A and B are shown apart, each in its own frame.
Chain A
Amino acid sequence: MSTERIRNFCIIAHIDHGKSTLADRLLEKTNTITSREFRNQMLDDMDLERERGITIKASAVALKLVCDGKEYNLNLIDTPGHVDFSYEVSRSLGACEGVLLLVDASQGVEAQTVANAYLAMEHNLAVIPVISKIDLPQSRPYEVLAEMEKTLGIDTEDALMVSSKTGKGIDEIFDAVIKRIPPPKGNPNAPLKSLIFDSVYDEYRGVIVYLRIFDGTVKVGDEIYMMKTNRSFKVEEVGIFKPKMVAKDYLSAGEVGYCIANIKSIRDVKVGDTVTHYKERTAEPLPGYRPPMPMVYCGIYPTNNTDFHPLREALERLSLNDSSFTFEPETSQALGFGFRCGFLGLLHMEIVQERLERESNINIVQTAPNVTYEILKINKEVIKVDNPEKVPPVNEIEEFREPMVRASFILPAEYVGVIMQLAEARRGKYKSTEYLSEKRAILIYELPLAEIIFDFFDKMKSATRGYGTLDYDFIGYEAADLVKLDILVSGKQVDALSTIAHRQDADIKGRKLVKKLKNEISRHLFEVVLQAAIGSRIIARETIRPIAKNVTAKCYGGDITRKRKLLEKQKEGKKRMKSIGNVEIPQKAFLSVLSTDE
């Protein structure tokens, strides 16, 4: 097929602006799926995605459409909307020539709208502005168009108005995709040049590689070569997504599809790599992607030390489908053998943890997340610290540096004050305010990443009644007055409970922390003393009273079974705890460092 009849496009939007619903309508309208197969959010594959109403993984689907008597192949590549996954958005964009920039007619321009639109512009893609949810009574499409012009500097004269609910405007979308997004360039007769824009691992078929073909063709039996990993494979199957995989004889220039080639390990596949033919190679690889940088780290340990290997296997399985998640073995005095895991953000961390528990049957203890710090030592050596335990002694530190982000808030003007207060309290540095309209503003702050990864997002949401949005970019490391805050349980320092805090907040944080731990740790036969310390200075102390009386008063013939079961249950609960010395610490306690509210 000539590339003239192919269009590759993405829908980009802020979370909840109706991306997945619009994708559903496009699938229905083109009869890509029968209504019998239909379920909401077709493209969200994982249960977790559908449950949380967010898209995590990009996915692709081929739509067939007849326009002016000609048949077109449209490839729609879905993208995630959450700030944690902007990396995945850029992957999808690399496989497209154009985007539908979707903006909710009542919510207006929001932080990820801006971030994603800029990404699309960086990729030189055709941008079609689309106002969604115009059926809602509170919609204000023309104000939103003005906001788009003001923030993004794009021409909104040809913006489309749609309602995925009523179906209004859907036909115009197809028209615009065909007429306003250029067909892919590329030569089907040139040597194969294709981009891996995603990959998933299938237990039975091995790695399924998502490909966008730029030049040449690929067919079953071809010997393909991955230019970055230097690996070659024999193609077993190629095909397209409808959205289930449908095999085809070949994929050629301009097309989007999948390729199965008996690839056993996801490590042999690098997203962003260029796939060419083994014998007849393309001269230049595609630019590929900047590898994702984990922003947040935490320790994941098996509750039961014998589960170390099963945990490693489970993490490996998970990483097969999520190349942006990293893990490395580490040891903790308190928790034994486990892994230091890196995530794109807090949501990403939650998702990985949830999948880990769902898909494997291992009880895990997770430590509080932290960012990566940079430390300039007296001997001028610069080290990266992704675990508070690795902070060198104070006398070896010349400068303690933390990662900074440039955060942009887009919010109704009336909330500018509260967000400024929130940002200032988190050691934010004010940069600028810009008004999109009378009612909406963009507020720019520079903030320490550590201050926003915990509960900042929720705080911002509730302070703005859900109307505020946030996007951020890493801008570099900056020196700060940071200290390592240690927790001692009955005099013993628990490495897994250490955190890094700003000196001015350390005392309050330490006090709150031991108070929280007091509630999390149940009473023992002996008094348990909890202390927070900076170096050798104790800054807070709480004690947990020993159990005074714990004895069942009545136990006769009819009670024996019940009593035994009760004791069994208590014993089972104990298994899920970690013993530090002789103190049993429940899993939740390790996370109490997370939120420091009362």
Chain B
Amino acid sequence: MKFKKDLPPNALYVHIPFCARKCNYCDFNSVVSGTKTIDLYLSALESELSALKGQYVFKTVFIGGGTPSVLTETQLEKLLCAVIRCISVSEVQEYTVEANPGTLTANKIRLLKEYGVNRISLGVQSFQDRQLKFLGRIHSGDDARKNFILLRQAGFENINIDLMFGCPDQSLDDWENDLETAVELNPEHISAYALTYEEGTLLTKNLNNGVISKLDECIELDMYKTVIDYLTHNGYNHYEISNFAKPGCECSHNLVYWNNMGYVGAGAGAVSSIDGARTSNENDIIRYVNGIGEGKNIKSFGEHLPDDQFASETVIMSLRLRQGISNADFYKRFGYKIEDQFGDQINRLIGDGLICYDNERLKLTEKGLFIADTVMTEFV
């Protein structure tokens, strides 16, 4: 049987690697840059995007960062123009732009709306200024609330709020307060991330130097259980490890990643996965800009996984989804059943109560959810 890993990619990711300030926990590809660099970058991005024109039919677009909303109004318009020229608007069902409170203005919001953006992901993290300060955010809890209201007033009907838990001196009460505030605002989607100490960040440095210490794992687990209970009770569907949505408002773009389907990435450091081959653009902004200018290859990384590894990766990514992975879909894609490759592991994990079958879908149990990484190691 012919091995068919992927349909043609139908998701486009555009990376804006600029921020007003680097957050203490962030290890993403983002920098604080002057207007001139941003202009150069946007021109290069425009070239990269225009080369995509006509090649793919995108159903989802996601402009992330960094902070896309840090762009000036003129720059933002330039970006939105470049994107709209390489996609077929009528096919795009979900068009998300990430924004941070403190960088959104009424004019920027109007521009986003005008160019067809229909989903905003707002990096709130917390509504409490103490937490925000710890994380190194530039905005207040009040800014977040006000921005959310502005977006609603501008007519955005699909808004995500990013929240974060597990900061060293955050209490369970603090976290519950954040959740209550978020639910009062009634967004369609909430991403709730446990604070992660990434290599090379200020927080990790402070952790290693003993300036801060990690929150007790049991409290962190309580916080995680709390968000699941609270949001589920308030009408949100817990559909991925850290993501919650009102019915029908799951993020289609991110589902592409979790189902390990194809996608195209544009911009510095952006990753593409096309027909089983994964490539990454040059991370460094200047090298990216120069590379595009000189018509050179801007890929800095590429891998084409053997079939069994690609299948293993697919299982691992799909297990992030609460509904798990469909054996029928897997079979259609890879030509054999999940058990053919992972029979022993599956039996063992089912025995340990960490995964289970829900009809023909293999998924994490609640017990397995809390230690998902440990479970996933078995599928490597």
A residues apposed to B, CB below 8 Å:
525, 547-558, 560-561, 563-564, 567-568, 570-571, 574
A571 adjacent to B193 (CB under 8 Å): no
Q: A548-B218, A549-B221, A564-B316 are in contact. Are A574 and B377 (CB under 8 A)?
A: yes
Q: Report the separation of the CA atoms of residues A570 and B377 in the bound assembly, to the nearest whole angstrom.
A: 7
Quick check: A547 and B374 within 8 Å, CB to CB?
A: yes
B269 CB-CB contact with A under 8 Å: yes
A548 touching B370, Cβ below 8 Å:
yes
Cβ-defined contact, B316 with A552, below 8 A = no
Inter-chain CA distance A550–B196, complex, in Å, is 11
11 further contact pairs, Cβ within 8 A, besides A547-B371, A557-B263, A560-B278? A548-B218, A549-B220, A550-B372, A550-B374, A551-B371, A552-B373, A554-B242, A555-B320, A556-B254, A556-B257, A571-B380
- The distance from the CB of B189 to the nearest CB of chain A, in whole angstroms, is 14
15 residue pairs from A and B, CB less than 8 Å apart: A548-B217, A549-B224, A551-B369, A552-B196, A552-B372, A555-B317, A557-B13, A557-B271, A558-B269, A558-B280, A560-B271, A560-B313, A564-B316, A568-B380, A570-B373
Q: Mark B207-231, 1 if CB is under 8 A from A, else 0.
A: 0000000000110110010000000
Chain A residues with CB under 8 A of B374 = 525, 547, 550
B264-303 interface with A by 8 A CB criterion: 265, 269-271, 273, 278, 280, 301, 303
A548 touches B380 (CB 8 A): no
Contact A553 B242 (CB under 8 A): yes
Contact of B260 among A547, A552, A560 (CB under 8 A): A560
A564 to B306 alpha-carbon distance, docked (Å):
14
Pick from A549, A557, A570, A571: contact of B257, CB under 8 Å: A557
Within B177-205, which residues are at the interface with A (CB < 8 Å)?
A: 193-196
Q: Which 6 A-B pairs have the closest CB atoms?
A: A551-B372, A553-B193, A549-B221, A553-B194, A558-B271, A557-B257
CA distance A557 to B64 in the complex (A): 12
Contact B241 A551 (CB under 8 A): yes
In the bound complex, residues from chain A placing their C-beta under 8 Å from that of B260 are: 560
CA distance A254 to B374 in the complex (A): 69
* Minimum Cβ distance to chain A for residue B27 (Å): 10
User: Chain A residues with Cβ under 8 A from B320's Cβ?
Assistant: 555
CA distance A102 to B373 in the complex (A): 61
Are B257 and A560 in touch, CB under 8 angstroms? yes
B376 within 8 A of A: yes
Of all chain A residues, the one with the shortest Cβ separation from B220 is A549
Q: Which residues of A contact B196 (CB under 8 A)?
A: 552-554
* Chain B binding surface, main DSSP class: mixed
Which residues of B have CB within 8 Å of A557?
13, 256-257, 263, 265, 271, 273
Bound Cα distance from A435 to B260, whole angstroms: 79
Bound: A247/B370 CA distance, A: 71
Residue with the highest number of chain B CB atoms closer than 10 Å, among A551, A554, A561 = A551
Contact B370 A564 (CB under 8 A): no
What residue of chain B has the Cβ atom nearest to residue A563's Cβ? B316
- In the bound complex, residues from chain A placing their C-beta under 8 Å from that of B303 are 561
* Residue B308 CB within 8 A of the other chain: no
Q: Closest B residue to A551 by CB, please name it.
A: B372
CB distance from A346 to the nearest CB of B (A): 34
Q: Is the CB–CB distance between A525 and B373 below 8 Å?
A: no
B193 touches A551 (CB 8 A): no
Are A564 and B271 in contact, with the CB atoms below 8 A?
no
Which chain B positions have C-beta within 8 A of A525? 352, 354, 371, 374
Cβ contact within 8 Å between A550 and B371: yes
| Beta-carbon contact of A571 and B377 below 8 Å | yes
The smallest C-beta distance from B71 to any residue of chain A, in angstroms, reads: 20
- Kindly list chain A residues whose C-beta atoms are within 8 Å of the C-beta of B254: 556
* A488 to B377 CA separation, bound complex (whole angstroms): 27
In angstroms, Cα B260 to Cα A550, docked, is: 22
Q: Across the interface, which residues of A come within 8 angstroms of B301, CB to CB?
A: 561
Q: How far is the CA of A525 from the CA of B378 in the complex (A)?
A: 13
Chain B hits for A574, CB < 8 A: 377
Whole-angstrom distance between the alpha carbons of A563 and B217 in the complex?
Answer: 21
Task: Give, as a whole number of angstroms, the nearest-CB distance from B345 to chain A.
Answer: 11
Least CB separation from B257: chain A residue:
A557
Residues of A within 8 A of B269 (CB): 558
Among B195, B352, B354, B370, contact of A549 (Cβ-Cβ < 8 Å): B370
Residues from chain B with a CB closer than 8 A to the CB of A548 are 217-218, 220-221, 370-371
Residues in chain A near residue B278, CB distance under 8 A:
560-561
A475 to B: closest C-beta gap in Å: 51
Of all chain B residues, the one with the shortest Cβ separation from A557 is B257
Contact A549 B13 (CB under 8 A): no
Assuming the A-B contacts A549-B217, A549-B220, A553-B242, are A558 and B270 also in contact, with contact meaning beta carbons closer than 8 angstroms in the complex? yes
Contact mask for chain B residues 340-380; partner A; CB cutoff 8 A; 1 contact, 0 none:
00000000000010100000000000000111111011001
B373 touches A551 (CB 8 A): yes
Interchain CA distance A574-B374 in the complex, whole Å = 11
Task: Compute how far the CA of A119 lies from the CA of B169 in the bound complex, rounded to whole angstroms.
Answer: 68
Inter-chain contact A549/B371, CB cutoff 8 Å: yes
Find out whether the CB atom of A567 lies under 8 angstroms from the CB atom of B376.
Answer: yes
Complexed CA–CA distance, A557 and B11 (Å)? 11
Query: Which residue in B221, B265, B280, B380 is a CB contact (below 8 Å) of A567?
Result: B380
Partner of A560, one of B317, B352, B373: B317
Bound state CA distance, A446 and B294, in angstroms? 81
* A551 contacts across to B, CB distance below 8 A: 194, 241, 369-373
Cα separation A240 to B59 with both chains bound (whole Å): 82
- B220 surroundings in chain A (CB, below 8 A): 548-549
Nearest residue, chain A, Cβ from B216: A548
Assess the A567–B241 pair: CB atoms within 8 A: no
Smallest beta-carbon distance A579→chain B, Å = 12
**For B271, what are the chain A residues with a Cβ–Cβ distance below 8 Å?**
557-558, 560-561
Residues of A within 8 A of B270 (CB): 558
Residues of chain A within 8 A (CB-CB) of B193 are 553-554
Q: In the complex, A561→B305 CA distance in Å?
A: 10
- Complex contacts, B258 vs chain A, CB 8 Å: 555
Nearest neighbor of A555 in chain B, beta-carbon distance = B320
Do A567 and B317 have beta carbons less than 8 Å apart? no
User: Given the complex, which residues of B lie within 8 Å of A552, measured CB to CB?
Assistant: 196, 241, 372-373
Please, which residue of chain A has its CB at the minimum distance from the CB of B162? A554
Q: How far is the CB of A494 from chain B (nearest CB, A)?
A: 22
When C-beta atoms are compared, the residue in chain B nearest to A558 turns out to be: B271
Q: In the complex, which residue of chain B has the Cβ closest to the Cβ of A526?
A: B352
Asked if B218 contacts A567 (CB within 8 A), the reply is no
Give the distance in Å from the alpha carbon of A426 to the alpha carbon of B129 in the complex: 60
User: What residues of B have a CB within 8 angstroms of the CB of A556 in the complex?
Assistant: 254, 257
Asked if residues A553 and B241 are in contact (CB atoms below 8 Å), the reply is yes
A550 to B224, CA, bound (A): 11
Interface centre among A525, A558, A574 (most CB of B within 10 A): A558
